[in-house]
């Protein structure tokens, strides 16, 4: 039971960090990119959201795979 609670806590912490990163991206990165690339103004937020979602998903799945991997490997 303790291991499951630890994994649940780690996943919750990763989700919290993902939310913080998403908020920082929305507040700082998207306006900066729109200022630099005004021709992409309407599409920039969608591209950033898609990229951020892909990176966060890969990170979360990698962390999950590492945490739940076979501990008896050499």
**Whole-angstrom distance, CA of residue 14 vs CA of residue 31:** 25
Model-level pTM? 0.49
Predicted pLDDT at 1: 61
Q: Where are the domains of the chain?
A: 2-67
Q: Which pair of tokens denotes residue 20?
A: 């913080």
Per-position pLDDT tens, the chain of length 74: 677 778 778 878 887 887 888 788 778 877 787 787 777 667 766 777 787 778 888 888 888 788 777 766 65
Measure the N-to-C terminal CA separation of the chain; round to a whole number of Å. Answer: 26
Q: What is the pLDDT of residue 73?
A: 61
Task: Copy the structure tokens of residue 51.
Answer: 């990229």
Write down the pLDDT at residue 33. 73
């Amino acid at each position: 039971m303790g291991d499951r609670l630890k994994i649940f806590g780690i996943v919750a912490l990763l989700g919290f960090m993902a939310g913080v990163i998403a908020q920082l991206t929305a507040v700082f990165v998207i306006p900066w990119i729109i200022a630099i690339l005004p021709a992409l103004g309407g599409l920039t937020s969608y591209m950033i959201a898609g990229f951020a979602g892909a990176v966060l998903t890969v990170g979360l799945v990698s962390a999950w795979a590492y945490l739940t991997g076979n501990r008896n490997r050499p």
